[in-house]
Amino acid sequence: MTRLLVECTHVFKNPRVNSGIQRVVRNVINQLPPSAEGVECMPVILLNGKLYRVTRLAPLDSPLSNAIVRFGERVGRLAHRFGQLYHRIDRRCRTKLTRRALYVAYRLSAFALFGIPPRLVQRVNRYQLPQRCEPLQHRPGDQLVLLDSSWHSDFFPHAEKLKREGVGIIAVIYDLIPLTHPHFYETRLVQVFSEWFDWITRTADGYVAISATVRDQLREEIKHRIGSTKAEKCWFDYFHLGSELDLQSVNAVVDPRLEHLFTTQEPVFLMVSTIEPRKNHEYLMDAFDRAWATGSNARLCIAGNIGWKCDALLARVRNHPEYNRRLFMFNDLNDTSLEYAYAHASALVFPSYVEGFGLPLVEAMQRGLPAMGSDIAVFREIGGEFMAYFDLQDPQRLADLVTAFECSGRFPADRDVTDWQWIGWREASLQLAERTARHVLQTPATPTKSLALAPPPEAHRPGAVVRFGR
C-alpha cells in the first residue's frame, strides 16, 4: 500500500535554523495530515543509511542540551562568516603558492576554532535520536517526498537504493535561481545546487514546486535537459505556502530598538529577507535616497540575517547619514519581534530580482500589511490586484510609490489588502499531500529495476553545507 514519506532530515538535525526553506519544512511537517486521498502520510529522515519515522521534530527540552545546541549554532554562524572572510582574501591572492598557504592556514584554523562544537551537537542528537524517531521499514510503492533542502545531505546512495527497491522519488522544488541567476551566489553554492539538480533530474518521478510560476519554469528546464518525451513520463504540480510565524514564544520579548522605531508618527516601510544580492537592497536604498532627497520623512527598516556578497551593502547602510535616524537594520530578530514589525509597519517593500515564492509578502499581507513588490511573475501570482508593483529598471518608480502613499494615506493598489485571503500552514501541508497523492495514485506503477545512477558527487558528502536565504 502506498505511503507518502515526507523527508525532513536537515531540519530534524538543525531544528532552530529559521530561514525560508527551514520555516516551510518545519510548518509542513508539523501540520502534515495523517492521510490524504486514502494515502498514509508520515515525516521521515534518512540518517547513516537508515530510514526513520519522525515522532518528534523539535528537540527535547533539556537545559543542558539546549545550551549545547545554541552554542553550536552560534559557532556555526561564526564558521560561516569565517569562511566568507577566507573567500574574500582568497580572491585577492595573486599566486598559486600564496593561495595554497592561505587554504592550509584556513583549514587548520577552522578545525581548531570550530571543530569541537559540531561534534558536541552530534552527540546530543545521537542521545535524543531514539526519543524523536523510530526505525521504519520501507515498502515497494512508498513515495519519498524530498521536502527538505536535500542538497545539504549525504543520503543520495541510500535514496538510490530505495528507488531500486521500488520506492518512488518526488522532489519539492523551491526555485531554480542558482541555475538561472548563478551570479547572485558563491561559486561553490552554484556547483552544489547544480550537481544536486542533475541528480534530481535523473532520479525523480515527480516534481512539486512552491508556485505555479516555478512549476512552469521547472517543466521547461526538465524538457531542456532530458527531452520532451522523457519529461512527459514525469508529473509536475505545485502547492502554495502558509503564513503563520510558528516560533513565537510567550517568553520572548520584542527587541527594544525595534519598539522605539515605531514610537513616532512617520510611516515605516519594512523589508524582510536575508541580505544577499538577489534581494536587491541596493535598489531599495537608491529609491529611499531619492525619496528623502525630496523631503520624505518615511523610515526604512531592513530586517534579515546577513547572507553573502553583501559587504558593500552593509557598509553603505552603516555609514549612511540616515542610519538610526530614518534608516534601520536588524539582523537577528526573533519571530516575536518580526510579528511586532508586521503589525506596526505602514507597508512592506520587496524589490527582489527573482523569487520562487516570496514568503514575507504572504506573511505581511495576511496580517493586513499592504505590500509593494517588484513586477515579477511570481509576485503577480501571489498578490494579484492587492499589491503595488514597481519597475526594477528605475528606483524612482518605488520612490514615487513611497511618497504618494506618505502624502495621500491611500495605498496605491487596485484592491484593498483587507479583502485578500490566503491559506495557512495546515492548508498548505494538506495541499502538498493531496496533490502529491493524486498524482501517485494516477501514475501506473513501474516495475522495480536497477538504476544506472552516477555515484554522488563530492559536493554531496558530509560537510558540503550551503545556505539559501528567505
Bridge partners, 306 (sequence order) = 275
Sort residue 233 into left (φ over 0), alpha (ψ -120 to 50) or beta: alpha
Q: What is the CA radius of gyration of the chain?
A: 23
Sort residue 24 into left (φ over 0), alpha (ψ -120 to 50) or beta: alpha
What band does 460 get if pLDDT is binned at 50, 70 and 90?
Answer: very low
Task: Report if pTM > 0.85.
Answer: no
Q: Do 301 and 438 share a structural domain?
A: no
> Is residue 392 situated within a structural domain?
yes
Q: Do 439 and 411 share a structural domain?
A: no
What band does 447 get if pLDDT is binned at 50, 70 and 90?
Answer: very low
pLDDT at position 433, please? Answer: 97
CATH number at residue 183: 3.40.50
> Is residue 210 situated within a structural domain?
yes
> Is residue 133 situated within a structural domain?
yes
- Structural domain including 285 reads 256-419
Beta strand pairing call for 206-209 and 50-54: unpaired
Q: Do 398 and 451 share a structural domain?
A: no
Q: For residues 162 and 51, what is the distance between their CA atoms, to the nearest angstrom?
A: 10
Task: Give the chain's largest Cα–Cα span.
Answer: 70
> Is residue 308 situated within a structural domain?
yes
> Is residue 397 situated within a structural domain?
yes
89-126 pLDDT, tens digit per residue, is: 877 788 888 888 888 887 877 766 666 666 666 665 66
> Could you please report the per-residue DSSP string of 344-376?
H-SEEEE--S--S--HHHHHHHHTT--EEEE--
Q: Do 386 and 355 share a structural domain?
A: yes
Please state the φ and ψ torsions of residue 306, each to the nearest 5 degrees: -75, 125
Contacts of 83 (CB under 8 A, 6+ apart): 110
Please provide the average confidence, as pLDDT, over all residues in the chain. Answer: 86
Q: Do 442 and 400 share a structural domain?
A: no
276-335 pLDDT, tens digit per residue, is: 999 999 999 999 999 999 999 999 999 999 988 999 999 999 999 999 999 999 998 888
Sort residue 358 into left (φ over 0), alpha (ψ -120 to 50) or beta: left
Q: Do 447 and 403 share a structural domain?
A: no
Q: Do 327 and 386 share a structural domain?
A: yes
Q: Which of 436, 444, 445 is nearest to 170 (CA)?
A: 436
> Could you please report the per-residue DSSP string of 150-179?
GGG-S-HHHHHHHHHTT-EEEEEE---HHH
Share of the chain above pLDDT 90, in %: 63
Q: Do 440 and 385 share a structural domain?
A: no
> Is residue 155 situated within a structural domain?
yes
**Grid cell for residue 110:** 577552522
Length of the chain, please? 470
Confirm if 203 and 163 have CB atoms less than 8 A apart: yes
Q: Which of 203, 190, 148 is nearest to 172 (CA)?
A: 148
| Number of structural domains in the chain | 2
The label of the residue with cell 564558521 reads 79
> Could you please report the per-residue DSSP string of 410-425?
--SSSS-GGG-----H
Q: Do 440 and 404 share a structural domain?
A: no
Q: Which residue has the higher pLDDT, 406 or 464?
A: 406
Q: Do 433 and 414 share a structural domain?
A: no
pLDDT at position 117, please? Answer: 61
Distances from the Cα of 83 to the Cαs of 21, 97, 149, 234, 428, in angstroms?
Answer: 22, 19, 21, 39, 36
CATH number at residue 408: 3.40.50.2000
Q: Do 305 and 282 share a structural domain?
A: yes
pLDDT at position 99, please? Answer: 82
> Is residue 80 situated within a structural domain?
no
H or E stretch covering 389: strand 388-390
- Looking at the chain, the number of H-run helices and the number of E-run strands are 18, 15
Q: Do 212 and 132 share a structural domain?
A: yes
208-246 pLDDT, tens digit per residue, is: 999 999 999 999 999 999 999 999 899 999 999 998 775
pLDDT at position 1, please? Answer: 76
What band does 259 get if pLDDT is binned at 50, 70 and 90?
Answer: very high
pLDDT over 50 at 465, yes or no: no
> Is residue 100 situated within a structural domain?
no
